[in-house]
């Protein structure tokens, strides 16, 4: 599911603060993060209060030599009778302090370098980036070992400083990239334009947006520092008379703890390091999910092409007319489940006849793109078809319900019978494969018998059809212009001669001239090859020109449908009427569906009555309570508006 | 190849930075470590060693600049000075004897870890929300374990108690180093445990980013389109999702390699492996500064070389870097 499609289904206009906070922090409240936080908390408490509660001197010698864990010594004793639990508790304190100190220092360094480089740009950026990259490439541990080798004193603080000097560069690199991208956003540009001081912009506009990344690299550095300190101490390169986890291991190893069977001496410090590392990594998983919402969605496997349960199957639709190629009946698509579910498509019926162009118009948030994804069964969770049917009529055969196909049937059906062209040509092409490979693999999948010469010939054939020079077959997507990429996608869609072509805003990203050329080409090819087109766009005036019939969607429903000429001549729904009246005339400047005051409805707010009511200039009292149904007014023309429908006598005009 | 030329220039700069760092560290360290060392060893050290050390650390009152020139000139000739742990063996010779052990061990372990980790990451990303997600906490746990601690436990259990593997070293000491079957099989046996330690501890570093990148890439339009084309799931997973998701992994090879090298140094010490990490340890324990510095430089250069190889792979994988501009 593309980001656009999700945005299309779940309008972002004035989201309720409660809903948005809940979903924004969902990643941070996952079980993983919670477990990590609790584990980390236990260590912090143990380091802070442990030595106060377990009041044994970690260095005190005694006669209990190499005792296994017992009531008196929970973790046993060392070769000189020291209490290991006491050592581990003090060690927790020391190791955490070194880790946090090093992480604080490294984070400060990386913030200084990363923010300055990203914000100032230019030569400063070049120099700072080079510095960070150099430190990133020089292997850290050998450098720390060399530095520590020269140190006259190797106290914990010195070690922390040395570690921070080698551990700042990764954070700096990420922060620089992030700052660079935030700096170009509107609110920062605005602040700069009003002459705000750079330091204020950095602190109040940029930094808050980098909180998650800073936190993540901070936690990461703690682990790095604890591991490095343990390594140094284990090698005897840091002060081993202070008890740290690494220091305990140093003594255990030098006294052959494992070989003499004293596992209780050797195991706990290492386990502590591993567990704290894991705790911080778990918290970082949560932060990752927070930063990258795509990671958040659960249960998103290749099973996503889920089949509708057989039990829900409905009888075949009534229309058995032979010229129908695709029929959508009472389709419902939800995003999410249960009471929070958003009804992105809410009971849509559509009929597509062979060779015709069916236009679907709507603003973003109307559910039109979701509909396209549902027809092709490409919806990804949380989007899900809840009910309805999508029947496809193969030539001269019985209809099949796309929603109830098995995985194999679906694979065979896709592209061979129904192909789709997405909005963004750049994002739809695999950037690392040539056009030839991307077109030929559809042939290989659907016509396994073909030779590579036959496939090549077909690739060249479709490319010529859409006006692409055949020598571009070996080009990579980035080597093509925007218009050429869009042509390539269309060529790709035609490679198997499908019966139905779904175009999801196929030309919006292009300039008007190229747009026009490509549309003409598609329409010419349709004449020639006879496929039917479902054309989804927000550009109603374009549809009036090219479509045979048009369905206008609002809030997940079709609110008016009829032939293009009928709709142009006499639109009956106030929404369609408003749209059309905002166009000067057919061939005048193009207008998009924003000519109506107000914003698209928030589908999360479920109100009775007509969804268009808040923006409708002709609303009557009943509109707030009665949901208008899509009913025929004349032959082939249906409208969902109370004004065109017989109403009960007690309604008053407003 | 503009991209590669840029990268190459960057590695040259980094190499120069490492050289300079190496020059500056002993001179800028608080407490004048070289002088302290000299006074500690006074009389016990071969006069030639004292002289070499004096020259090397600029204790002969030459200007910083002329010291720097001499330093670079010596290195240019491949002269890293004399090791005084193995006096009078030149540092270069000591390093060369051990370098190959490390390159073979760490090189193979890194490749195995990268391949296995990436493959597991692909599957875990593709089947997210399934039981494969359990791989994440498990491998994270192993990656948080200190290499040396894990190595020692493995060594104690498998070699000490069960006697399945040799306890230490790189080959059985009675064999001569050649390409005989006896030597190679012995070297292999000795390398299994340290290699396994490195693989197990580093695998999460490849697996988790790969899995997350897979999940992110799977929502990209071209993956959705590949699915819409009715391609076999395996092809969508490998040629569309994974083929793109792997790019950041290769691009951030640098950082991951840094960790592996650090861990490998400790692993070698624990397993008494005759590699460069063990040498570094010896050098630091014996305050053999020339050897210590030489090893640091060599490790850095090898890492730079490995990074350049990763860049070559990147260029091969991503046609966008091949743009001639
Ligand atoms: S039903 Fe009422 S509110 Fe809705 S479009 Fe018709 S007149 Fe307007």
Q: Ligand 1, residues A557, A616, A644: which to mutate, most atoms within 8 A of Cβ?
A: A616
CA of B245 to the centre of ligand 1 (A): 49
pLDDT at B18 over 60: yes
Q: Cβ contact (<8 Å) for B230 and A414?
A: yes
Q: Which three-class secondary structure state does DSSP give residue A297?
A: coil
Q: Residue A369 domain-assigned? A: yes
For A467-526, what is each residue's pLDDT tens digit?
899 889 999 999 998 889 989 999 999 999 999 999 988 777 677 788 888 888 898 999
Q: Name the residue of chain A whose CA is nearest to B267's CA.
A: A231
Determine the distance separating the centroid of ligand 1 and the alpha carbon of A573, expressed in angstroms.
Answer: 7
- In eight-state DSSP terms, residue B89 is S
Query: Which residue is closest in CA terms to ligand 1's atom 6?
Result: A641
Whether residues A221 and A270 share a domain: the answer is: yes
Of the candidates B14, B33, B231, which has its C-beta nearest A137's C-beta? B14
pLDDT digits (tens, 9 = 90+) for B107-159: 899 999 999 999 999 999 998 878 888 888 888 888 888 888 888 888 888 87
Instruction: Determine whether the interchain pair B284/A419 forms a contact, defined as Cβ–Cβ distance below 8 Å.
Output: no
What interhelical angle do B47-56 and B289-317 show, nearest 10?
Answer: 50
Mean pLDDT of A418-426: 86
pLDDT of residue A12: 32
Number of cross-chain residue pairs from A and B with Cβ atoms under 8 Å apart: 266
Q: Is A610 in the pocket of ligand 1 (CB under 6 A)?
A: yes
Q: Are residues A170 and A51 in the same domain?
A: yes
- CA-based nearest residue to A159, from A144, A178, A181: A144
Per-residue pLDDT of B22-71, as tens digits, reads 888 877 776 666 677 777 666 666 677 677 677 667 666 677 788 888 88
Buried b (16+ CB within 10 A) or exposed e, A530-566: ebbbbbbbbbbbbbbebbbbbbbbbbbbbbbbbebeb
Q: Residue A429: which of B148, B222, B289 has the nearest Cβ?
A: B222
* A69 lies in some domain: yes
**Number of folded domains in chain A?**
3
Least confident window among A90-99, A236-245, A278-287: A236-245
Q: Is the CB of A645 under 6 A from ligand 1?
A: no
Which residues are A385's β-sheet partners?
A333
In tens, the pLDDT along A513-562 reads 888 888 888 989 998 998 999 999 888 888 888 899 999 999 889 999 99
For A375, nearest residue in chain B (alpha carbons)? B228
Q: Residue B225: which of A228, A412, A428 has the nearest Cβ? A: A428
The residue among A566, A581, A600 that closes a domain is: A600
* Ligand 1 contacts CB of residue A612 (under 6 A): yes
Does residue B132 belong to the interface with chain A, where contact is any CB pair within 8 Å? no
| Chain center to CA of A53 | 48
Q: Are residues A170 and A291 in the same domain?
A: yes
C-beta of A622 in contact with ligand 1 (< 6 A): no
* CB nearest to B224's CB, from A2, A273, A419: A2
- Residue A647 is predicted with a pLDDT of 58
Spatial separation of the C-alpha atoms in residues A208 and A114, rounded to whole Å: 14
Residue-range domain boundaries for chain B: 91-322
Q: How far is A252 from chain B (nearest CA, A)?
A: 11
Min Cα separation A274/chain B (Å): 4
Does any ligand 1 atom lie closer than 6 A to the CB of residue A628? yes
**Inter-chain CB proximity B228 and A378 less than 8 Å:** yes
Report B:54-73 residues touching A (Cβ under 8 A): none
Q: Tell me which residue has its CA closest to atom 5 in ligand 1.
A: A641
Same domain, A149 and A182: yes
Task: Confirm whether A317 is domain-assigned.
Answer: yes
Are residues A325 and A367 both part of a single domain?
yes
CATH number of the domain within which A528 lies: 3.40.50.300
- Verify that A405 and A432 share a domain, yes or no: no
On whether both A276 and A179 belong to a single domain, the answer is: yes
CATH of residue A106? 1.10.3720.10
**Same structural domain for residues A364 and A312?**
yes
- Interface predicted TM-score (ipTM): 0.85
Is 60 exceeded by the pLDDT of residue A300? no
Q: Report chain A residues whose CB lies below 8 A from the CB of B293.
A: 146
CATH 3.40.109.10 fits B91-322, yes or no: no
Strand order in the sheet with A500-504: A418-421, A500-504, A532-537, A357-361, A549-554, A557-563, A637-639, A631-634
For residue A619, is it within any domain?
no
Domain containing residue A382: 306-417+498-514+522-600
Contact B293, B82 (CB under 8 A): no
Q: Which atom of ligand 1 is nearest to the CA of A628?
A: 1
- Tell me the whole-structure pTM to 2 decimals: 0.83
A652 domain residue, yes or no: no
Residue A647 lies in a domain: no
Q: Is residue A611 part of a domain?
A: no
Please check whether residues A221 and A244 belong to one and the same domain.
Answer: yes
């Amino acid at each position: 599911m593309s980001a656009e499609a999700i945005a299309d289904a779940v309008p972002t206009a004035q989201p309720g603060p409660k809903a948005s906070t809940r979903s924004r922090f969902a990643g941070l409240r996952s079980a993983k993060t919670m477990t990590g936080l609790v584990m980390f908390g236990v260590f912090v408490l143990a380091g802070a209060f442990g030595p106060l509660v377990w009041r044994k001197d970690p260095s005190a010698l005694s006669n209990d030599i190499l005792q296994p864990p017992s009531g008196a010594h929970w973790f046993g004793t060392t070769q000189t009778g020291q209490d290991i639990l006491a050592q581990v508790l003090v060690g927790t304190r020391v190791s955490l302090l070194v880790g946090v100190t090093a992480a604080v220092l490294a984070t400060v360094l990386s913030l200084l370098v990363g923010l300055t480089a990203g914000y100032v740009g230019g030569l400063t950026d070049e120099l700072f980036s080079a510095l960070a990259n150099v430190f990133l490439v020089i292997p850290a541990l050998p450098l720390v070992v060399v530095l520590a080798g020269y140190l006259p004193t190797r106290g914990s603080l010195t070690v922390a400083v040395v570690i921070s000097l080698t551990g700042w560069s990764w954070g700096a690199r990420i922060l620089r990239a992030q700052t660079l991208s935030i700096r170009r956003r509107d609110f920062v540009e605005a602040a700069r334009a009003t002459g705000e001081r750079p330091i204020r912009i950095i602190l109040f506009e940029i930094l808050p947006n980098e909180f998650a990344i800073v936190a993540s690299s901070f936690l990461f550095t703690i682990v790095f520092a604890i591991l490095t300190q343990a390594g140094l101490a284990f090698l005897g390169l840091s002060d081993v008379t202070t008890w740290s986890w690494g220091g305990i291991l140093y003594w255990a190893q030098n006294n052959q703890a494992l070989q003499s069977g004293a596992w209780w001496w050797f195991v706990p410090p290492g386990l502590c390091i591993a567990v704290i590392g894991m705790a911080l990594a778990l918290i970082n998983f949560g932060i990752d999910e927070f930063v990258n919402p795509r990671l958040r969605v659960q249960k998103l496997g290749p099973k996503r092409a889920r089949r509708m349960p057989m039990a829900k199957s409905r009888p075949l639709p009534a229309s058995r007319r032979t010229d129908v190629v695709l029929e959508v009946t009472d389709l419902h698509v939800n995003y999410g489940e249960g009471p929070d579910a958003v009804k992105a498509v809410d009971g849509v019926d559509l009929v597509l006849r062979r060779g015709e162009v069916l236009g679907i118009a709507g603003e973003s948030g109307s559910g039109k793109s979701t509909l396209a994804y549902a027809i092709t069964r490409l919806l990804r969770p949380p989007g899900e078809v809840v009910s309805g049917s999508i029947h496809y009529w193969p030539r001269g055969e019985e209809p099949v319900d796309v929603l109830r196909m098995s995985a194999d049937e679906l694979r065979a059906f896709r592209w061979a019978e129904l192909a789709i062209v997405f909005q963004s040509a750049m994002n739809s092409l695999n950037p690392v494969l040539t056009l030839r490979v991307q077109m030929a693999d559809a042939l290989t999948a659907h016509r396994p018998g073909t030779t590579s010469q036959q496939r090549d010939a077909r690739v060249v054939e479709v490319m010529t059809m859409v006006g692409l020079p055949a020598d571009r077959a070996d080009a990579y997507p980035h080597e093509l212009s925007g218009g050429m990429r869009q042509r390539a996608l269309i060529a790709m869609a035609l490679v198997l001669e499908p019966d139905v072509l779904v175009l999801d805003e196929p030309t919006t990203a292009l300039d008007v001239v190229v747009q026009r050329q490509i549309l003409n080409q598609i329409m010419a090819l349709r004449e020639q090859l006879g496929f039917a087109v479902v054309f989804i766009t927000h550009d109603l005036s374009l549809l009036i020109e090219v479509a045979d019939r048009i369905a206008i969607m609002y809030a997940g429903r079709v609110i008016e449908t009829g032939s293009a000429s009928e709709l142009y001549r006499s639109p009956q729904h106030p929404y369609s009427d408003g749209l059309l009246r905002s166009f000067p005339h057919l061939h005048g400047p193009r207008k998009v569906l924003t000519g109506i005051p107000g914003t698209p409805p928030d589908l999360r707010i479920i109100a009775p009555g007509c969804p268009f009511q808040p923006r409708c200039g002709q609303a009557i009292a009943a509109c707030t309570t009665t949901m208008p149904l899509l009913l025929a007014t004349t032959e082939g023309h249906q409208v969902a508006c109370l004004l065109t429908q017989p109403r009960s006598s007690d309604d008053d005009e407003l | 190849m503009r991209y590669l030329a840029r990268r190459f220039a960057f590695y040259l700069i980094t190499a120069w930075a490492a050289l300079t760092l190496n020059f500056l560290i002993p001179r800028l360290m608080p407490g004048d470590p070289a002088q302290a060392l000299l006074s500690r060893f006074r009389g016990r050290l071969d006069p030639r060693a004292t002289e070499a050390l004096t020259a090397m650390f600029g204790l002969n009152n030459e200007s910083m600049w002329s010291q720097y020139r001499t330093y670079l000139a010596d290195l240019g000739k491949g002269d890293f000075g004399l090791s005084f742990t193995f006096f009078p063996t030149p540092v270069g010779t000591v390093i060369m004897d051990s370098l190959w052990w490390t390159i073979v061990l760490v090189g193979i372990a890194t490749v195995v870890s990268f391949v296995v980790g990436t493959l597991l990451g692909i599957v875990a990303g593709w089947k997210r929300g399934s039981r494969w997600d359990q791989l994440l906490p498990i491998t994270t746990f192993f990656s948080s374990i200190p290499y040396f601690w894990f190595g020692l436990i493995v060594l104690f259990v498998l070699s000490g108690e069960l006697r399945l593997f040799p306890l230490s070293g790189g080959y059985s000491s009675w064999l001569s180093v050649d390409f005989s079957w006896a030597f190679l099989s012995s070297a292999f046996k000795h390398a299994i445990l340290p290699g396994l330690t490195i693989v197990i501890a580093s695998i999460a570093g490849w697996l988790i980013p790969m899995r997350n990148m897979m999940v992110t890439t799977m929502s990209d339009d071209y993956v959705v389109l590949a699915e819409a084309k009715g391609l076999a799931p395996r092809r969508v997973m490998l040629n569309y999702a994974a083929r793109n998701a792997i790019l950041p992994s290769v691009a951030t090879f640098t950082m991951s390699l840094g960790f592996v090298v650090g861990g490998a140094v400790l692993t070698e010490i624990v397993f008494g492996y005759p590699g460069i990490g063990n040498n570094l340890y010896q050098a630091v324990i014996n305050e053999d500064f020339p050897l210590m510095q030489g090893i640091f430089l060599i490790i850095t250069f090898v890492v730079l070389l490995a990074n350049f190889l990763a860049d070559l792979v990147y260029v091969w994988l991503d046609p966008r870097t091949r743009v001639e501009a």
